[in-house]
Amino acid sequence: MKKWIQKQSSELIARRIFTLRDIDCHHPEKDIHHTFFRLETLDWINVIAVTDDNRFIMVKQHRLGNDEITIETTGGLIDHGEDPLEAARRELREETGYSPARMTLLKKLAVNPAIMDNYIYYYLAEGCVRVSDQDLDKEEDIEVLTYSREEIRSMMRSGEIDHALVITGLLLFFDHEQDI
């Protein structure tokens, strides 16, 4: 199998967190020309944070994409030049005020390679303790909640937690537990 040849790319829209590109491509084996779209964005982190008494630290916030209030794990963008592990520590502290004793990379995954160029890093933060107040960006409105393992599993089953990236992180956590 041969890769498509990218002939020309043009920027359609650029915003703080993403750029949308129109890409003119040619398939060398099939002699097909096609226009694809690529969403270019920074890599992301997602943190499955657990306290010493096995409570999952979750955030509740309004998401404008689906216009719903969601319950999620901590997550966010990795700043230009920032180490993913440091981004995970920073986002956890900013969104929740918690700091971990230990951090483990669970997995790095392509977010949606059909149209996006970024990756998401899933971290497990263990031994989390509250060390400060939240330090939210001006546009963030986040409530911090903690749940037991049983509550998290129930919320995943019922659909109360329905964010695909969050469920992926939680499933990676439960799989990691099986490996220990």
Tens-digit pLDDT profile for the chain (180 aa)? 999 999 999 999 999 999 999 999 999 999 899 999 999 999 999 999 999 999 999 999 999 999 999 999 999 999 999 999 999 999 999 999 999 999 999 999 999 999 999 999 999 999 999 999 999 989 999 999 999 999 999 999 999 999 999 999 999 999 998 765
> What pLDDT shows up at residue 113?
97
Q: Is residue 18 located within the same domain as residue 91?
A: no
Q: Is residue 20 located within the same domain as residue 85?
A: no
Q: Is residue 97 located within the same domain as residue 28?
A: no
Q: Is residue 108 located within the same domain as residue 172?
A: yes
> What pLDDT shows up at residue 178?
74
Alpha-carbon distance 156 to 147, whole Å?
A: 12
> What pLDDT shows up at residue 180?
53
> What pLDDT shows up at residue 152?
98
Task: Kindly state the tokens that stand for 85.
Answer: 């592990």
**Residue range(s) defining the domain that contains residue 143:** 44-179
> What pLDDT shows up at residue 179?
66
Query: In total, how many domains does the chain have?
Result: 2
* Residue 8 burial class via C-beta count within 10 angstroms: exposed 0-12, middle 13-18, buried 19 and up: exposed
Q: Is residue 93 located within the same domain as residue 127?
A: yes
> What pLDDT shows up at residue 88?
98
User: If we measure between CA atoms, which residue out of 171, 178, 155, 139 comes closest to residue 58?
Assistant: 155
> What pLDDT shows up at residue 173?
97
Q: What is the DSSP letter of 116?
A: B
Q: Is residue 18 located within the same domain as residue 77?
A: no
Q: Is residue 93 located within the same domain as residue 110?
A: yes
CA dihedral of residues 86, 47, 15, 62 (deg, nearest 10) = -140
> What pLDDT shows up at residue 150?
97
> What pLDDT shows up at residue 31?
87
